[in-house]
Chains A and B, each alone.
Chain A
């Protein structure tokens, strides 16, 4: 029969009491057998005593609220158990730590992805449009389709297209890969944001000679510095050119804190001019 620690302790206390009683009776002149029998007789129903001890109702304190007593007992019991079993305590605490950490991580993700609104004006009016394959998989909209959608749709106030590119930024003989985003004309006005450097492009903006583009924002500079580690303070003022995308018509950068679509540092006008 397995006993909980409290019952085990009571049993051992009673055992000890009986042993002492037997010793005393032997001292009084009884034989050990007689002493044991006499001790058992005097002790009566030891099971009853053990139960009574186990179920002893703690005395009520003066003025302590009764409702809190069981809670207080549970708390003290828990602390005693934890102190008595260090290994168990470590396991318990580790379990709680992992549980809390996992919950925190999951909540952070849910908070960022689901609960937190997008950092644009009227985020509830923003909708992402995708095409779907016959198998039900979403895939991106092609440029001609986007142009047609934007022209013919009657559901949205405005539509903007965006795509990801990696541009090559060339400066003072260095070349740096810049994570960039191709966006359509209406992108900045649709999201209600403006580039921190450069200017938003519009449908009327024709090709601008690359030499006139001076986009070197702090973000671009930082990207360069981490790449080349040779940036000087003066390097910031030098002009840049974009080599791999000669169709670049405008070039702007936003602040580094721009969220997704996001970590992009450069923007270029992407929509083909239609004739």
Chain B
């Protein structure tokens, strides 16, 4: 895939929270989901993903438990807590607000 995009600093947590907002997923599933919805243009580094998962669980935004996968493997599944859902809402609003502002500035006509 040629046109990869870089993950902007500070956005991984929000994407992870979004990934588990509908159903519980294990770490690999979260990474796969983010990659597939972006057409493989965004890859999630394991070296960043697992620290983020554990940090957010510690913080109370995620809860986790061992479950069997479809193939019968034991995997740690993460799901969104109520606090995590609130955090996702807050971060999303903040992100969309700033994305909107950046876009407005970049698209504005400069005539002086």
Contact = CB atoms under 8 A, between A and B. Distances in A.
A53 interface: yes
Given A48-B47, A56-B54, A17 B28 contact: yes
B27 A49 contact: no
A43 interface: yes
Contact of A61 (B27, B53, B59, B73): B59
B59 A52 contact: no
Please give me the 8 A-B residue pairs with the lowest Cβ-Cβ distance, nearest first. A56-B51, A20-B28, A58-B58, A53-B50, A56-B55, A59-B59, A17-B28, A49-B47
Task: Decide if the interface of chain B is mainly helix, strand, loop or mixed.
Answer: helix
Interface in B40-95: 46-47, 50-56, 58-59, 69, 71, 73-76
A52 B52 CA distance: 10
A23 B29 CA distance: 13
A53 B54 CA distance: 7
A21 interface: yes
A27 to B, nearest CB: 12
B28 A21 contact: yes
Contacts of B76: 9, 12-13, 16
Nearest to B48: A52
Contacts of A50: 50
B107 to A, nearest CB: 33
A23 B69 CA distance: 13
Interface string A90-113: 000000000000000000000000
A194 interface: no
Task: Decide if the interface of chain A is mainly helix, strand, loop or mixed.
Answer: helix
A16 B55 contact: no
A48 to B, nearest CB: 7
A19 interface: yes
Contacts of A59: 55-56, 58-59
Interface string A54-71: 111111010000000000
A80 to B, nearest CB: 11
A153 B54 CA distance: 81
B33 to A, nearest CB: 12
Contacts of A56: 50-52, 54-55, 58
Contacts of A58: 55, 58-59
Given A16-B28, A53-B51, 11 more contacts: A10-B54, A16-B73, A21-B28, A23-B71, A49-B47, A54-B54, A56-B54, A56-B58, A58-B55, A59-B56, A59-B58
B27 A13 contact: yes
B77 to A, nearest CB: 10
B46 A17 contact: yes
Contacts of A24: 32
A43 B48 CA distance: 12
22 contacts: A12-B76, A13-B27, A16-B27, A16-B73, A16-B75, A16-B76, A17-B28, A19-B73, A20-B28, A21-B28, A23-B71, A24-B32, A43-B46, A48-B47, A49-B47, A50-B50, A52-B50, A53-B51, A56-B50, A56-B51, A58-B58, A58-B59
